[in-house]
Amino acid sequence: MKVFITRKIPESGLDLLRKEFDIKVNPQNRALTKDEIIEGVKGKDGLLCLLTDVIDKDVIYAEPNLKMIASYAVGYDNIDVAAATKCRIPVSNTPGVLTETTAEFAWALLFSVARRIVEGDAFTRAGKFKGWEPLLMLGQDVTNKNLGIIGAGRIGTAFALKSKGFQMKVIYTDEQRNEQLERELGAKKVPLSELLKESDFVSIHVPLMKATHHLIGEKELKMMKKTAILLNTARGPIIDESALIKALKEHWIFGAGLDVYEYEPKIPEELKKLDNVILQPHTGSGTIETRTKMALMVAENLIEGLKGNIPPNCINKEVFLKKTTK
Ligand SMILES: NC(=O)c1ccc[n+]([C@@H]2O[C@H](COP(=O)([O-])OP(=O)(O)OC[C@H]3O[C@@H](n4cnc5c(N)ncnc54)[C@H](O)[C@@H]3O)[C@@H](O)[C@H]2O)c1
């Protein structure tokens, strides 16, 4: 069978796939356009895609024999899963293997913003450090503060659990109760408005979907403490970026740490000019170990799916239910 891979992933995954299939990997070191993906998928049985690829109806319908879409990411807001399901194409993602890595990254952002690490580094390199100063670059303490988790799923839970050493009061908002957080941290489930008002650090871990688009806008940012820090390692459009720019400019909050952007990879010039925000290039899951595990996972999913089996991380298992009840 033939597989199209929209961009080079770690060799561990490619090696597994080469043993099973005739694979074609995008030879260019850039994300492909939709037209290029459509061209690439023609005549293929499987598609291995990334979160930067728009996998909509046009792509899904481009190849009538397409049998499997395996995404190299946990979030799948870029894929029209309903359209794939309609065509009985299983779609898979890579959950779990990147949980701890992404949670660690959110902590790296939290400390970097709270203690102004990036600003301090630039200041020191620029030769501006003239010795210890009582009022130089003052930040925010972390220990004993209130930590607010928006979306206490896999990553939100791992992020919250890592607060243990800092004796923080953890509150969370989610559609479901998180008994682990309640048991291990005494965490409390609260409405979003209460979380925003109470938290010193707010970390976003919900998936991007209709209900979470612009979940944080002007009204929500105004509810936050002036000393609070907002972190987003989930997906950019969950925050109304222009409202956030206003909030940072006018100091409604202390700062923000962002790994993702509303119109990724475009980042507004205004945001780049602000020194109370730390900007990262969507590298939340970016460690050698984790990207290797993701590569193996995406390959295993594709192999199982193309064999006609339910891929271990299938998002739309109903595809198989329909097949058996037909
Ligand atoms: N920055 C990165 O590189 C990076 C890496 C991995 C994941 N992510 C993002 O993080 C997201 C979370 O990943 P995960 O593995 O923890 O997912 P998950 O499904 O385990 O957790 C998501 C949680 O959000 C909750 N939720 C869903 N809709 C909600 C709503 N409207 N209000 C409140 N809670 C809601 C769910 O109940 C669930 O508990 C992914 O969807 C992805 O977009 C980003």
Band the pLDDT of 321: cuts 50, 70, 90: confident
Task: Read off the pTM.
Answer: 0.96
* Among protein residues, the one whose CA lies closest to atom 25 of ligand 1: 151
282 lines ligand 1 (CB under 6 A): yes
* Residue 275 clears pLDDT 90, i.e. is over it: yes
* Among protein residues, the one whose CA lies closest to atom 44 of ligand 1: 234
* Run of H or E residues at 105: helix 99-114
Residue among 50, 51, 52, 74 to mutate when testing ligand 1 (max atoms within 8 A of CB): 74
- Give the homologous superfamily in CATH for domain 2-97+288-325: NAD(P)-binding Rossmann-like Domain (3.40.50.720)
Dump pLDDT digits (tens) for 49-92.
999 999 999 999 999 999 999 999 999 999 999 999 999 999 99
Enumerate the CATH 3.40.50.720 domain ranges in the chain, comma separated: 2-97+288-325, 99-279
Dump pLDDT digits (tens) for 145-164.
999 999 999 999 999 999 99
Report CA-CA distances (Å) from 280 to 119, 138, 216: 14, 22, 19
* Among protein residues, the one whose CA lies closest to atom 15 of ligand 1: 154
Taken in order 118, 121, 123, 125, is the CA torsion positive or negative? negative
Tell me if residue 235 is catalytic: yes
The Cβ of residue 132 has, within 10 Å, a number of other Cβ atoms equal to 6
State the alpha helices, DSSP H only, in 199-275. 218-223, 241-249, 269-273
Band the pLDDT of 239: cuts 50, 70, 90: very high
- Read off the pLDDT of each residue in 159-188 and give the average, rounded to a whole number: 98
pLDDT in the model for residue 87:
97
* Residue 325 clears pLDDT 80, i.e. is over it: no
Whole-number Å distance, alpha carbon 205 to ligand 1 midpoint, is: 5
Cα–chain center distance at 25: 24
- Read off the pLDDT of each residue in 310-314 and give the average, rounded to a whole number: 98
* Residue 326 clears pLDDT 50, i.e. is over it: no
Query: How much is the mean pLDDT over the chain?
Result: 97
Dump pLDDT digits (tens) for 198-214.
999 999 999 999 999 99
* Run of H or E residues at 299: helix 288-306
95 lines ligand 1 (CB under 6 A): yes
Band the pLDDT of 130: cuts 50, 70, 90: very high
pLDDT in the model for residue 322:
55
Which of the residue ranges 62-66, 132-136, 321-325 would you say has the lowest mean pLDDT? 321-325
175 lines ligand 1 (CB under 6 A): yes
Instruction: Find the length of the chain.
Output: 326
Report CA-CA distances (Å) from 69 to 27, 44, 61: 20, 11, 12
Q: Scanning the structure block, which residue is given the tokens 């938290």?
A: 199
The Cβ of residue 151 has, within 10 Å, a number of other Cβ atoms equal to 23
Dump pLDDT digits (tens) for 210-227.
999 999 999 999 999 999
pLDDT > 90: percent of the chain? 98
Dihedral (Cα; 270, 241, 236, 276), 10-degree rounding: 50
CATH number of 99-279: 3.40.50.720
Q: Sort residue 143 into left (φ over 0), alpha (ψ -120 to 50) or beta.
A: beta
Q: Bridge-partner residues for 116, per DSSP?
A: none
